[in-house]
C-alpha cells in the first residue's frame, strides 16, 4: 500500500486524540510519523501495520461496491461503467486475500513525489483539521485504487467521499475503515505493540510532554466499531467462498484452479457443484494416478542413476536400457497427465458456460429447466442432459408452432381489418401487425400476406425482400408461381424489364404445367400471368409480342367460356379492354374500336342478366371508349360515351353510393377535361367542380382513400384555370395540390414523394410561363432534390424521373433563363442516365434524343 496512506490513517487517529490542542503538535507529529514510515519501510513490524490498514480500507471500499452493484435502477451508469465496478469488485477481493501474505506490501509511494510534508500548521485546533485529514486519507485511497490504469467510477468515489445509505442507515467510509481496523487490532494483539513502538513512541517528542498510547487512540476506534460491528460480518460472509475454495483447490493443477476461481468470482458456480460431480472426480483421480506414477518412475530413475555409479560395464548396459524405458514411461505418463489436465480445463470451462446459461434463463423457467438447475447444483451433468429430452422438446415446439400459427393468423386478420377501416395511421398500424405476425411465425401465410400488403401500397423494395422470404416456405408449385408472378409485377414497377420478363416466364411455365393436369383450376392463373406479361411487353413497345400474349389469353378464355360462360365472359371483357388500350397506344384505332366494341357487347349481355354485377363494367368500358374517341378527335362521340357512362354510374349510386360515387367523380373528371379541350370552359368547370365536390365529401368519411383523388381532381381544375387564363387561381390550386401531396408523403413517402416531385414540375412550368423565373427555378430544384434522394434509395425506379427533371431544367436554361453552361450540364447529366436504360425503356430512348438535341444546339446553334 502507499506509505502516505498509512501516514494519513494514523494521523487521523492522532488528530482525534489531540482534540482541541493546537494543530502545531498535530503537524509535527504527522510529518514525523510519515518520515518514520518511510525510514522503516522494510521492517516487518511496519509491514504488519501496513497490511492491517490496507485491508481495513479495502474492506470498507468493498462494502461500498457491494452496496452499488444490486441497485442498477438507482445509479445511471453505462454498461462499461457497470463492468468497471465489477472489475473493481474482483480487484478488491483479490487484494484483501493478498493481505494475508506477509510478503505483500508497497515499498515506495507515487505520492512521495508531491508531498515533502503532509501537513502545515494553520493556527487551528487539531479537531478543526480532522475533516482535512480524513479528506486526504480518502483521496489517497482513491488514487491508490486508480493505479495501473484502473478506472474508479464517480459513483464509487462519491460513496468513499460522502458515504451512502443502506436500508435508511448512514454508512460513513472513514468510520467503517476504523471499525475494520479495530477488528484487526482485536484479532491480532501484536498490532497494538507494533503501533506503539514503531509509530507513537517515535513521535512522542514531537507532540510535547503528553504521553500518547494505543489504548487512548483506540477509544475513538471502539466508538466506530460499536456503531458498525453488526455489518462487519456481512463482508466476511461475502468473502468466505474464496477462503473455502482455497482448501478445495489445493491439489488442482494451477490453470484449472484459476478457471474455477474465476467462475466463483463471477458468481457462476460454487466449488461444491464441481467437486460432487462424477465426471470431475474421475478427472481428478486420473490426474492423481498419473502424478503417482510419475513420482514412482522418478524414484526408479533416481535409483538407477545412483546404481550406475557403482556397477560394471555389463550391468551398466542393462541399467541404461532400463533407464531409457523408464524415461519413455515418464514421458508417456506426463503426456497423459497433461492431456487429462487440458480435458479437465475444458470440462470446467464448459460447466461454467452451462452455469451462466442457466443463470441467464432464470426468468424463463419450465419444468425441465427447473429440474436441470437442480441436477446442475448436484453435479449430475449426464442426468441433466437426459432430462432435457429432445423428443419432449420437439413435441413442445410443435405445440408452440401450432399456437404461434393461430396467433399469427389472428394478427393478420386484425391487420387486414385495419386496412379495411382505414382509420388515422392505418398504414403504419397494419404494417406493424403484419410484421409482428411474421416475427412470431415465419411461414408462407405470414410472409405472403405481408408482402402482398406492401406491394399494394408501393413499398417496392421491402415487398420484394419479403416475397423472397416467402419463397423459402412454399409447399407447392402453385405458391411458387404466385410469388414469381407478383415479383414480376414489382420488377416491372422498378423498370427492371429483363428480370420481370424472367419472373413472368417462370411463373407461366409452372402454371401451364399445372393447367395440363387441371385446366379448370389453373388456366385462369395462366391467363393472369399472360395478361401481366402482355402489359410488360406493351410498355417495352414490343407491341407484336404483347398482341400475341393478349390473343393467346383471349383464345383460352373463349375456350373456357364455352363451358362456363358465366365465369369467363367477364375475363374476356377485361382482356378485350386491355387489347383496346394496346391498339390505342399503337394508334390502331379500328382495332381498338373493335376490341372495345366486343368488350362492351359482352358487358351489356352480362348486365342484362345481372345488372348490379356487370353494369359497372359497361360504364367503365364506355369511359375507355370515350377516351379513344377523344384521341381520334371525335369529341361528340366521346362526350356521348362519357355521358352514357355517367348516367349508368349515377344510377348505380342510388343503390350503392359508397361504391360508385368515386366512379361518377372519375367520369366527370374525364368529361370535364374533354369539355376543356372543346373550349366549353363553363361546362368543364361545372363537371370538374362537381367531381371535386364529390371527392371532398368522400374524403371527409375516408380521407386515406379519397384525399389522393381530391388532389388529382384539383390538379385538373388547375389545368382548366390555366386555359381560362386564371393563372393566379391556377397557381393557388397547384399549391393546394402540392400541400396535400406533401402531407400524404409524410405518412407514406415511398408512395407519394414521386407525386410531390411531379406536381412541383407542373407548378414550375406555370411559374415559368408567368415569368416568375426565380420561383420556377426553386420548384424545379426541389423536384430535382427529391428525385435525387429517391434515386439513391431505388435507382432502377427513380433514375428516369431524375433524368426527366434534369431535362426540364436544361430546357428552362435553354429558352427562359438562358444559361448555356447549366443547360448543357443538365442535358449531359440527363443523357447519361437515359443511356443506362434506353435499350430496355423506350421513354428513356425518346427523351435521350431530346437531351442530345439540346447538346447539339449548344454545339452549332440549331435545335
- Do both 774 and 845 map to the same domain? yes
Work out how many domains the chain is built from and give that number: 3
Phi, psi of 798 (to 5 degrees): -110, 0
What number of other Cβ atoms are within 10 A of residue 87's Cβ?
Answer: 12
Q: Find the mean pLDDT for residues 721-749.
A: 87
Which residue has 435553354 as its cell numbers?
A: 814
- Do both 176 and 291 map to the same domain? no
Report pLDDT for 249.
Answer: 46
- Do both 223 and 262 map to the same domain? no
- Do both 145 and 18 map to the same domain? yes
Q: Which residues contact 84 (CB under 8 A, 6 or more apart)?
A: 151, 152, 153
Cα separation, 82 vs 510, in Å, equals: 59
pTM of the entire predicted model: 0.43
pLDDT above 90: residue 530: yes
Summarised one tens digit per residue, pLDDT across range 37-57 is 655 555 555 566 777 777 878
- Do both 92 and 224 map to the same domain? yes
pLDDT above 60: residue 631: yes
Summarised one tens digit per residue, pLDDT across range 336-389 is 888 888 888 888 788 777 777 777 666 666 778 788 878 877 778 788 888 888
Helix (H) or strand (E) holding 165: strand 164-166
3-state secondary structure of 512: helix
- Do both 218 and 268 map to the same domain? no
Number of H helices, E strands in the chain: 38, 2
pLDDT above 90: residue 560: no
Summarised one tens digit per residue, pLDDT across range 112-162 is 444 444 455 556 676 777 787 788 778 888 888 887 677 888 888 888 888
Cα separation, 218 vs 221, in Å, equals: 5
pLDDT above 90: residue 828: yes
Burial class for 860, CB neighbours closer than 10 Å (0-12, 13-18, 19+): exposed
- Do both 770 and 862 map to the same domain? yes
Q: Find the mean pLDDT for residues 514-529.
A: 90
Domain that holds residue 758: 754-863
| Chain length of the chain | 863
28: left (phi over 0), alpha (psi -120 to 50) or beta: alpha
User: Does a structural domain hold residue 703?
Assistant: no
- Is residue 467 within 8 A of residue 451, CB to CB? The reply is yes
Query: Which of 336, 360, 387 corresponds to the end of one domain?
Result: 387
pLDDT above 60: residue 271: no
Cα separation, 766 vs 740, in Å, equals: 19
Cα separation, 143 vs 160, in Å, equals: 12
Grid coordinates standing for 247? 482448501
- Do both 349 and 316 map to the same domain? yes
User: Does a structural domain hold residue 425?
Assistant: no
| CATH number where 862 lies | 1.25.40.10
Query: Which of 178, 198, 231 corresponds to the end of one domain?
Result: 231
- Is residue 415 within 8 A of residue 444, CB to CB? The reply is no
User: Does a structural domain hold residue 33?
Assistant: yes
User: Does a structural domain hold residue 660?
Assistant: no
Grid coordinates standing for 772? 416568375
Report pLDDT for 665.
Answer: 92
Cα separation, 359 vs 363, in Å, equals: 9
User: Does a structural domain hold residue 424?
Assistant: no
- Do both 263 and 159 map to the same domain? no
Cα separation, 24 vs 34, in Å, equals: 16
- Do both 330 and 373 map to the same domain? yes
Q: Find the mean pLDDT for residues 541-561.
A: 85
Q: What is the mean pLDDT of the chain?
A: 79
Query: Could you say which DSSP state residue 252 is in?
Result: S
End-to-end CA, the chain = 91
The separation between CA 1 and the C-alpha centre of its own chain, rounded to angstroms, equals: 47
User: Does a structural domain hold residue 314?
Assistant: yes
User: pLDDT higher for 188 or 622?
Assistant: 622
Query: Which of 387, 404, 428 corresponds to the end of one domain?
Result: 387
Query: Could you say which DSSP state residue 358 is in?
Result: H
pLDDT above 80: residue 75: no
- Do both 794 and 863 map to the same domain? yes
What number of other Cβ atoms are within 10 A of residue 402's Cβ?
Answer: 11
Q: How confident is the model at residue 841 (pLDDT cuts 50, 70, 90)?
A: low
Cα separation, 618 vs 637, in Å, equals: 16
3-state secondary structure of 2: coil
Dihedral sign for Cα 334, 340, 343, 349, please.
Answer: negative
User: Does a structural domain hold residue 380?
Assistant: yes
- Buried b / exposed e over 269-292, threshold 16 CB at 10 Å, is bbbebbeebebbeebbebbeebee
Cα separation, 274 vs 259, in Å, equals: 12
Report pLDDT for 243.
Answer: 46
User: pLDDT higher for 434 or 75?
Assistant: 434
The angle formed by the CA atoms of residues 715, 719 and 721, to the nearest 5 degrees, is: 110
3-state secondary structure of 69: coil
3-state secondary structure of 171: strand
Q: Find the mean pLDDT for residues 724-751.
A: 84
Grid coordinates standing for 196? 506503539
Report pLDDT for 829.
Answer: 96
Residues above pLDDT 90, as percent of the chain? 24
Q: Find the mean pLDDT for residues 413-441.
A: 87
The angle formed by the CA atoms of residues 545, 546 and 547, to the nearest 5 degrees, is: 90
Summarised one tens digit per residue, pLDDT across range 204-252 is 555 555 556 555 555 666 666 666 666 666 555 444 444 444 444 445 5
Cα separation, 108 vs 323, in Å, equals: 52
pLDDT above 70: residue 636: yes
User: Does a structural domain hold residue 792?
Assistant: yes
**C-alpha gyration radius of the chain:** 46
Report pLDDT for 148.
Answer: 66
Dihedral sign for Cα 421, 424, 426, 429, please.
Answer: negative
Grid coordinates standing for 522? 389453373
- Do both 152 and 280 map to the same domain? no
Amino acid at each position: 500500500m502507499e506509505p502516505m496512506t498509512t501516514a494519513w490513517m494514523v494521523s487521523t487517529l492522532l488528530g482525534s486524540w489531540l482534540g482541541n490542542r493546537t494543530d502545531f503538535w498535530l503537524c509535527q507529529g504527522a510529518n514525523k510519523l510519515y518520515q518514520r514510515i518511510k525510514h522503516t519501510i522494510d521492517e516487518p513490524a511496519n509491514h504488519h501495520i501496513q497490511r492491517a490498514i490496507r485491508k481495513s480500507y479495502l474492506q470498507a471500499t468493498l462494502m461500498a461496491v457491494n452496496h452499488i452493484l444490486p441497485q442498477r435502477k438507482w445509479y445511471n451508469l453505462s454498461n462499461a461503467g457497470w463492468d468497471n465496478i465489477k472489475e473493481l469488485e474482483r480487484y478488491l477481493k483479490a487484494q484483501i486475500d493478498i493481505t494475508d501474505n506477509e510478503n505483500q506490501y508497497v515499498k515506495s509511494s507515487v505520492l512521495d513525489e508531491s508531498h515533502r510534508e503532509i501537513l502545515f500548521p494553520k493556527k487551528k485546533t487539531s479537531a478543526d483539521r480532522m475533516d482535512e485529514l480524513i479528506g486526504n486519507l480518502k483521496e489517497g485511497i482513491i488514487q491508490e485504487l486508480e493505479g495501473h490504469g484502473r478506472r474508479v467510477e464517480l459513483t464509487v468515489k462519491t460513496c468513499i467521499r460522502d458515504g451512502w445509505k443502506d436500508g435508511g442507515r448512514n454508512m460513513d467510509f472513514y468510520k467503517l475503515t476504523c471499525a475494520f481496523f479495530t477488528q484487526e487490532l482485536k484479532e491480532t494483539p501484536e498490532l497494538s505493540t507494533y503501533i506503539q513502538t514503531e509509530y507513537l513512541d517515535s513521535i512522542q517528542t514531537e507532540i510535547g510532554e503528553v504521553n500518547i498510547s494505543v489504548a487512548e487512540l483506540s477509544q475513538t476506534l471502539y466508538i466506530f466499531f460499536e456503531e458498525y460491528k453488526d455489518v462487519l460480518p456481512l463482508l466476511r460472509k461475502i468473502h468466505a467462498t474464496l477462503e473455502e475454495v482455497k482448501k478445495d483447490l489445493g491439489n488442482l493443477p494451477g490453470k484449472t484452479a484459476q478457471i474455477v476461481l474465476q467462475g466463483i468470482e463471477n458468481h457462476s458456480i460454487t466449488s461444491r457443484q464441481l467437486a460432487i460431480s462424477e465426471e470431475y472426480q474421475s478427472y481428478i483421480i486420473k490426474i492423481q494416478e498419473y502424478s503417482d506414477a510419475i513420482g514412482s518412475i522418478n524414484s526408479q530413475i533416481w535409483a538407477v542413476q545412483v546404481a550406475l555409479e557403482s556397477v560394471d560395464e555389463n550391468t551398466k548396459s542393462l541399467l541404461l536400457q532400463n533407464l531409457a524405458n523408464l524415461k519413455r514411461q515418464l514421458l508417456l505418463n506426463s503426456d497423459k497427465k497433461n492431456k487429462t489436465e487440458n480435458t479437465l480445463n475444458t470440462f470446467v470451462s464448459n460447466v461454467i458456460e452451462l452455469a451462466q446459461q442457466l443463470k441467464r434463463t432464470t426468468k424463463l423457467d419450465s419444468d425441465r429447466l427447473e429440474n436441470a438447475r437442480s441436477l446442475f447444483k448436484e453435479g449430475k451433468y449426464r442426468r441433466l442432459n437426459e432430462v432435457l429430452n429432445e423428443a419432449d422438446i420437439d413435441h413442445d415446439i410443435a405445440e408452440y408452432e401450432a399456437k404461434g400459427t393461430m396467433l399469427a393468423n389472428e394478427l393478420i386478420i386484425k391487420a387486414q381489418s385495419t386496412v379495411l377501416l382505414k382509420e388515422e395511421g392505418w398504414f403504419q398500424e397494419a404494417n406493424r401487425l403484419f410484421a409482428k405476425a411474421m416475427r412470431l411465425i415465419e411461414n408462407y401465410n405470414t410472409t405472403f400476406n405481408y408482402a402482398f400488403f406492401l406491394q399494394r401500397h408501393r413499398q417496392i423494395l421491402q415487398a420484394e425482400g419479403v416475397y423472397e422470404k416467402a419463397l423459402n416456405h412454399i409447399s407447392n408449385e402453385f405458391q411458387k408461381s404466385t410469388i414469381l408472378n407478383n415479383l414480376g409485377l414489382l420488377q416491372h414497377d422498378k423498370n427492371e424489364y429483363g428480370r420481370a420478363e424472367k419472373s413472368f416466364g417462370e411463373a407461366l411455365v409452372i402454371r401451364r404445367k399445372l393447367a395440363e393436369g387441371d385446366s379448370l383450376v389453373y388456366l385462369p392463373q395462366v391467363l393472369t400471368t399472360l395478361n401481366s406479361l402482355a402489359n410488360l411487353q406493351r410498355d417495352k413497345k414490343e407491341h407484336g409480342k404483347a398482341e400475341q400474349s393478349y390473343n393467346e389469353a383471349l383464345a383460352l378464355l373463349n375456350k373456357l367460356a364455352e363451358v362456363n360462360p358465366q365465369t369467363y365472359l367477364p375475363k374476356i371483357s377485361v382482356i378485350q379492354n386491355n387489347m383496346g388500350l394496346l391498339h390505342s397506344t399503337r394508334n390502331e384505332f379500328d382495332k381498338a374500336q373493335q376490341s372495345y366494341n366486343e368488350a362492351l357487347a359482352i358487358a351489356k349481355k352480362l348486365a342484362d342478366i345481372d345488372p348490379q354485377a356487370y353494369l359497372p363494367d359497361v360504364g367503365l368500358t364506355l369511359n375507355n371508349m370515350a377516351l379513344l374517341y377523344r384521341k381520334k378527335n371525335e369529341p361528340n362521340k366521346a362526350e356521348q360515351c362519357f355521358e352514357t357512362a355517367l348516367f349508368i354510374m349515377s344510377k348505380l349510386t342510388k343503390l350503392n353510393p359508397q361504391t360508385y360515387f368515386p366512379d361518377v367523380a372519375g367520369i366527370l373528371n374525364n368529361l370535364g377535361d374533354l369539355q376543356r379541350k372543346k373550349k366549353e370552359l363553363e361546362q368543364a368547370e361545372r363537371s370538374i367542380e362537381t367531381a371535386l365536390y364529390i371527392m371532398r365529401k368522400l374524403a371527409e368519411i375516408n380521407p386515406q382513400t379519397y384525399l389522393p383523388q381530391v388532389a388529382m381532381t384539383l390538379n385538373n381544375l388547375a389545368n382548366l384555370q390555366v386555359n381560362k387564363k386564371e393563372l393566379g387561381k391556377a397557381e393557388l390550386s397547384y399549391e393546394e395540390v402540392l400541400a396535400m401531396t406533401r402531407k400524404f408523403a409524410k405518412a407514406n413517402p415511398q408512395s407519394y414523394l414521386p407525386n410531390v416531385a411531379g406536381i412541383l414540375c407542373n407548378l414550375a412550368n406555370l411559374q415559368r410561363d408567368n415569368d416568375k423565373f426565380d420561383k420556377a427555378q426553386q420548384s424545379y430544384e426541389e423536384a430535382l432534390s427529391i428525385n435525387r434522394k429517391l434515386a439513391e434509395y431505388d435507382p432502377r425506379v427513380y433514375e428516369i424521373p431524375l433524368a426527366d427533371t434534369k431535362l426540364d431544367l436544361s430546357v428552362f436554361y435553354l429558352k427562359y433563363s438562358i444559361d448555356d453552361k447549366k443547360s448543357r450540364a443538365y442535358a449531359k447529366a440527363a443523357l447519361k442516365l437515359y443511356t443506362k436504360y434506353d435499350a430496355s425503356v423506350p421513354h428513356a430512348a425518346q427523351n435521350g434524343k431530346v437531351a442530345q438535341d439540346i447538346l447539339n444546339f449548344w454545339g452549332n446553334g440549331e435545335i
